[in-house]
Amino acid sequence: MEEGRRRRNLLGAALKKLNPREREIVVERRLKDEPATLEELSHRYAVSRERIRQIEVRAVEKLQKAVAANSSTRPIERIAA
């Protein structure tokens, strides 16, 4: 139970380091039970699917660095999947 809370806190703090668009894309693509498609997000933001994918990759890299910097153990695997 404590491990789950620690991971949520680490992820929450890391998500705050993203800009609003990056945060929404990561949440919509990686953290929802039914993730949004690249197509759906590309329409929402009026950019290409490839641009959404690039933003997602960059945001996940930022999250991994932020979590690693604030964690004495291994990073959260789910966001990297």
pLDDT band (50, 70, 90) for residue 70 = confident
Say how far apart CA 33 and CA 56 lie, in whole Å.
Answer: 17
Residue that has been written with the tokens 């641009």 in this structure: 51
Domains of the chain, each with CATH number or no CATH: 2-80 (1.10.10.10)
pLDDT at 73: 53
74: pLDDT strictly greater than 60: no
Question: In this predicted model, which residue has the larger pLDDT, 26 or 4?
Answer: 26
d(CA 29, CA 24): 8
Instruction: Read off the pLDDT band of 78 (50, 70, 90).
Output: low
Single-letter residue type at 29: R
Helix (H) or strand (E) holding 60: helix 49-69
What end-to-end distance do the CA atoms of the chain give, in Å? 22
What's the number of CA atoms in the CB half-sphere (13 Å) around residue 8? 5
